């Protein structure tokens, strides 16, 4: 009984379609995401990854079907769902610390509680020394670490990340993937992470949701049983990479739509 309850889906999506005026961005999407799980949405550009993430976030709404979080239909954004975007969506006029404190401050946290909260999350992303800096004084990787700390400071049950490392160079990107896994292991939030990088999905995910376009839909959901920490250059990693690559190839109709393989 207890075990069955712990496997209740925190995100439950059924027959979901999303329409932008005449354009159908998602059709008949069904997906359960379980508490504490790390799920990657993988697919070519335009297949509806961002749309699906935004539907979970409450920024776009179903034209058909249902989408619920913790058993309640999603009708608006909420503090239970933290968002990290690809572009650096920090407030440039706030310091790093003020950026992290922004959400909690809106919820009425003040004084030492507020300082303790930002200390904790800046420590978690290893930016304690940079609390007083402004975003434009940081590297791209550091800004994304602030964005993660800022999202976590609201104590969301679910972290939604839309290609958060897409603009970073390859080495910084791998370092941030490592950090995100460490944070996820410590904080155990449910993560839904959008990427068009196959290697990133294999490195991060418990399950990889492969999406296809026209109309946007789920093509396959693959389990990733590789133990962590994962070895990017290992044979089992490459085997799974190849398996998912095979699925991706079936969904790609144009050569130029191939996702990057790094």
Rounded to a whole number of angstroms, the minimum distance from the CB of residue 73 to ligand ADP is 21
Question: Does 46 help bind ligand ADP (rule: CB under 6 A)?
Answer: yes
Q: Of the two residues 47 and 151, which places its CB atom closer to ligand ADP in the complex?
A: 47
* Size of the chain in residues: 262
* R_g of the chain computed on alpha carbons: 18
Of 39-47, 68-76, 118-126, 173-181, the segment contacting ligand ADP by CB under 6 A is 39-47
Question: Does 118 help bind Mg ion (rule: CB under 5 A)?
Answer: no
Name residues contacting ligand ADP, limited to 209-228 (CB under 6 A): 216
Q: Of the two residues 50 and 144, which places its CB atom closer to ligand ADP in the complex?
A: 50
- From the list Mg ion, ligand ADP, none, pick the one residue 99 interacts with, judged by a Cβ distance below 5 to 8 Å according to partner type: none
Give the CA count within 13 Å in the CB-facing half-sphere of 159: 29
- From the list Mg ion, ligand ADP, none, pick the one residue 93 interacts with, judged by a Cβ distance below 5 to 8 Å according to partner type: none
Which tokens in the block code for residue 36? 């504490």
If binding means CB under 6 A, how many residues of this protein chain bind ligand ADP? 12
Q: Which of 8, 15, 45, 79 binds ligand ADP (CB under 6 A)?
A: 45
- From the list ligand ADP, Mg ion, none, pick the one residue 77 interacts with, judged by a Cβ distance below 5 to 8 Å according to partner type: none
Burial class (CB in 10 A: 0-12, 13-18, 19+), 132: exposed
- Pairing outcome for strands 64-69 and 9-20: antiparallel
Identify the CA nearest to 149 among candidates 199, 53, 207, 82.
Answer: 82
**Concatenated DSSP letters for 17-68?**
EEEETTEEEEEEEEEEEETT-EEEEE--TTSSHHHHHHHHHTSS--SEEEEE
Give whole-number Cα distances, 69 to 57, 60, 76, in Å. 10, 14, 11
Q: Of the two residues 135 and 216, which places its CB atom closer to ligand ADP in the complex?
A: 216
- From the list Mg ion, ligand ADP, none, pick the one residue 212 interacts with, judged by a Cβ distance below 5 to 8 Å according to partner type: none
Q: Which of 40, 50, 74, 158 binds Mg ion (CB under 5 A)?
A: 50
Q: Which of 13, 48, 85, 124 binds ligand ADP (CB under 6 A)?
A: 48
Residues of the shown chain interacting with ligand ADP in the complex, contacts defined by CB under 6 A? 20, 23, 25, 43, 45-51, 216
């Amino acid at each position: 009984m207890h075990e069955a309850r712990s496997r209740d889906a925190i995100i439950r999506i059924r027959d979901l379609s999303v329409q932008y005026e005449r354009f159908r961005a998602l059709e008949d999407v069904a997906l359960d995401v379980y508490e504490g799980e790390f799920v990657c949405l993988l697919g070519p550009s335009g297949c509806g990854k961002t749309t699906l993430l935004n539907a979970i976030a409450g920024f776009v709404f179903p034209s058909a079907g249902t989408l619920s979080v913790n058993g309640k239909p999603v009708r608006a954004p909420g503090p239970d769902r933290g968002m990290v975007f690809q572009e650096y969506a920090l407030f440039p006029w706030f310091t790093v610390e003020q950026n992290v404190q922004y959400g909690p401050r809106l919820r009425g946290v003040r004084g030492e509680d507020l300082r303790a909260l930002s200390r904790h999350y800046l420590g978690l992303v290893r930016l304690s020394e940079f609390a007083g800096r402004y975003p434009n004084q940081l590297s791209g990787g550091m800004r994304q670490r602030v964005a993660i700390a800022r999202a976590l400071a609201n104590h969301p049950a679910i972290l939604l990340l839309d290609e958060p490392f897409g603009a970073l160079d390859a080495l910084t990107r791998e370092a941030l993937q490592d950090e995100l896994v460490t944070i996820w292991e410590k904080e155990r939030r449910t993560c839904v992470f959008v990427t068009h990088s196959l290697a990133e999905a294999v490195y991060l995910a418990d399950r990889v949701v492969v999406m296809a376009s026209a109309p946007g839909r789920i093509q396959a959901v693959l389990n990733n049983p590789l133990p962590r920490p994962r070895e990017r250059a290992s044979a089992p990693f490459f085997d799974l990479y190849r398996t998912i690559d095979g699925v991706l190839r079936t969904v790609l109709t144009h050569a130029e739509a191939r996702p990057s393989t790094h």
